Amino acid sequence: MSPLTNGNCRPDPVERLSPREKEILPLVAQGLDNRQIGKMLFISEKTAKNYITSIRKKLALANRTQIALYAIREGLIELPPKE
């Protein structure tokens, strides 16, 4: 939990995600599509899509691009080094 300026604590939004959603979030951020995620995790493309929809709702994000930006900002994925 991260403290607010008034001394209260707020839960980390990522903590609301299921273990599978936490596994899928960085894959979305890496640019994988639903089919690729499904193949990697042995789930259907539709199931991958459902997990991504759930992630977007739980984190109040509008699209996959926002998921990627969120993952980068929160340190959930590392960017490749600049050359």
What residue ranges do the domains of the chain occupy? Answer: 16-73
Q: Is 32 helix (H, G, I), strand (E, B) or coil?
A: coil
Residue 10 — pLDDT band, cuts 50, 70, 90?
A: low
What pLDDT sits at residue 9? 67
Determine the Cα–Cα distance for residues 19 and 26; give it in Å rounded to an integer: 12
- Residue the block writes with tokens 């539709």: 46
The pair of three-digit structure tokens given for residue 52, joined into one six-digit string: 């991504």
Q: Which residue has the higher pLDDT, 7 or 49?
A: 49
Burial of 14 (0-12, 13-18, 19+ CB in 10 A): middle
Task: Report pLDDT for 8.
Answer: 59
31-70 pLDDT, tens digit each: 999 999 999 999 999 999 999 999 999 999 999 999 999 9
Residue 78 pLDDT grade (very low, low, confident, very high; cuts 50, 70, 90): confident
- Class at the top of the CATH hierarchy for domain 16-73: mainly alpha
32 class by beta-carbon count within 10 Å (0-12 exposed, 13-18 middle, 19+ buried): middle
Q: How confident is the model at residue 12 (pLDDT cuts 50, 70, 90)?
A: confident
